[in-house]
Amino acid sequence: MSLVFAPQSFSEKRIVVTGASSGLGKGTASLLASLGASLVLIGRDEDKLTEVLTSLPGKLHSYEAVDLSEDGSADEAIKSIAAQHGPIDGLFHSAGSSLVSPIRMTKQRQIDDLFGAAVFGGLGIARALARKGAMQDGGSIVFMTSVSALRGRKGMVAYSAAKAATSGLVRALAIELSERRIRVNGIAAGAVATEMHDNFVKSVHQDMVKNYESLHPLGFGLPDDVANAVAFLLSDASRWITGVDLSVDGGYAAK
């Protein structure tokens, strides 16, 4: 990754990254650590979290192995982090899952999984950070949403519903926390080449993959593309931006 941000531009900032054991969370954690941030990584797999932790530059990082699928567990996790480390400066909520399935074949357990960490966990995080002492005034929160909240496609009904719920959370929470100048934004991402994306590509016919890629005028994205956008929204450069879903989608939403 070639850095586009000033070295040490996140020094003296403590950032929490959920879903940090893989994919976009892992990629963003790597970028933020290279910019001098002190990170608290959250994920379900302790072995993977340890692996990510040891790969990061800097020594002031830690992790919490937590299942964020319920709002109560997410609330407690953030409360514990604030008690240990003091108020945080920023948070990137990347935890969540994906699903491509016709709604007639979608099971309750799949819906529960989609809404678990992404929506219920997001609500728990929101509740925790709204309390005094959990986040610095002037801080920034970034949630992963998706272009699927903006554009309809077959097989994406449940996933789109979960991402639309997160987008609604972003807008309302931005207003609720504005008195403290805490910014709340989302990243409306298109298809990004992560492990989850690769598994999808391997599971379908190549004609479907080509058609899907053609919906992105700039092609599929890379984790760095999302990580750079998250870093911008967590940085002081975005001090007058709140309540929006920033499209990072290779032009998907423009078609």
pLDDT tens string 215-244? 899 999 999 999 999 999 999 999 999 999
Domain membership flag for residue 6: no
Give dist(CA 31, CA 34) in Å, integer: 5
Domain membership flag for residue 58: yes
CATH of residue 30's domain is 3.40.50.720
Q: What pLDDT is stored for residue 89 in this prediction?
A: 98
Task: Show the domain range for 219.
Answer: 14-254
Domain membership flag for residue 5: no
Model confidence at 33: pLDDT above 90: yes
What distance, in Å, lies between the first and last C-alpha atoms of the chain? 29
pLDDT above 70 covers a percentage of the chain that reads: 96
Q: Is residue 185 within a helix (H) or strand (E), and if so which, with residue range?
A: strand 183-189
Domain membership flag for residue 173: yes
Domain membership flag for residue 8: no
Average pLDDT, the chain: 94
Domain membership flag for residue 146: yes
Q: What pLDDT is stored for residue 206 in this prediction?
A: 80
Strand partners, 184: 141
Domain membership flag for residue 144: yes
Domain membership flag for residue 1: no
- Assess whether 159 carries a catalytic annotation: yes
Q: What is the dihedral of CA 90, 95, 99, 103, to 10 degrees?
A: -70
| Total tally of structural domains belonging to the chain | 1
Model confidence at 205: pLDDT above 90: no
Per-residue pLDDT tens for 97-143?
988 899 999 999 999 999 999 999 999 999 999 999 999 999 999 99
Name the active-site residue from 63, 159, 212, 252: 159
* 178-195 as b/e: b if 16+ CB within 10 A: eeeebbbbbbbbbbbebe
